[in-house]
Structure formats: C-alpha cells, structure tokens
Amino acid sequence: MSHEQREFEALFRETRGPLLGYLTRRAPGEDAADLLAEVYLVAWRKRAELPPGEERRLWLYGVARRLLAEHHRLAVSRDAADREAGTAGVLRRGADDDRRDVAVRQALDALSDLDRELVTLTSWEGLTPAEAARVVGITAGTARVRLHRARGRLARQPALRALLDDPGGAATTAPRPALADALRP
C-alpha cells in the first residue's frame, strides 16, 4: 500500500463517522450511505488537491453539503414526476410523529437555508462557527452574526420553548445533540 493510500485510509477512518452522521440527519439512511461513498469518491479523485491538515475534514463537509443539495434537487424532481404520474402516495422520508422532532424540524425550516446549515453544523456536528463558515463559504464574522440571529429566532419559537420547559420533552429522547445549544443566543 502506498503512502497516498495509507493517508487516504486514515482520513476515511477519522471522518466517516461524523460525515455519516451529518448525512443521515439530512437524508434517509440508505441514501446517506450512498452519499458518503460519493463524498469519498470525490475526495479520492481530487486527492492531489485536498487541503492540508484539519482543512481536509471541512473540505469533506463542503463536498457532502454540495452532494446533499444535488440529492435534494433530484428528489424534488422525482417527487414532482411522481405527482404528475399519480404515483406519489408514500413519503420518501420516514414520517416521524415524534412531536419533538416535528417541532425542531419546523423551527429549523423557518430559517433560511444558510442559517439552518450554520445552526446544524455547529449544534449537531460540533463544528466551531469559524469551521462552519469555511464549510458554507462565508467569513467567520458573518457566520457568528448569522448564528446569533438564527439562535435568537429559534429561541422565540413557542413550540421549542415548550419542549425545553417540558421535563419529559427534549431531555428524555434526544436523538440529536443539544437542542438547548441550538437555542442558545
């Protein structure tokens, strides 16, 4: 095995878990695994151009983000074609009746795409605001301001406030890290 292959394998081992989590929170599980494979395919093809050190991890998040955007565009086109053909009876994403998950999703959906991505990258993926800024292609200062404002908007969401105030709500069945962190202004 060459040095290049060993280095790539180490990158894969270090980043596959966090990247799969990132993709799974944004796409159905079977699609997330396929998207993860595509992320590493792109990385392998561009291995000579990979940034050095810690920037590689952020570069991989950026690739995953772009692949997800394309995946969602195709899903929307597919859903429109299904509706046109009269075959859209089943949701592609699993319908989750959990009120906590629904409330969080609705609150996040009220944010702009960029603000939602910043909030989830920092709260769910554990990136710093500066790292999240590099992933989405904005300055660190802009990311901090947008995060502050987005968290303020989330904190004013009545459904989320009720979940945080409900002892059986957010704290007991948390499939995603730190709901309270996402609401912290």
Q: Where do the structural domains in the chain lie, given as residue ranges?
A: 3-85, 99-183
Tens-place pLDDT, residues 106-117: 888 889 999 999
Tens-place pLDDT, residues 23-82: 999 888 789 999 999 999 999 999 989 999 889 999 999 999 999 989 888 776 665 655
pLDDT of residue 88: 44
Q: What would be the CATH architecture of the domain defined by 3-85?
A: Orthogonal Bundle (1.10)
Mean pLDDT lowest for which of 84-88, 127-131, 148-152, 170-174? Answer: 170-174
At residue 124, φ and ψ (nearest 5 deg) are -90, -35
Residue 84: pLDDT over 90: no
Report how far residue 92's alpha carbon sits from residue 145's, in angstroms, rounded to the nearest whole number. Answer: 35
Whole-model pTM: value is 0.64
Average pLDDT over residues 112-127: 92
Tens-place pLDDT, residues 129-149: 999 999 999 999 999 999 999
Q: CA–CA distance from 24 to each of 12, 16, 143 (Å)?
A: 17, 12, 24
Report how far residue 111's alpha carbon sits from residue 122's, in angstroms, rounded to the nearest whole number. Answer: 15
pLDDT of residue 28: 85
Q: What CATH number labels 99-183? A: 1.10.10.10
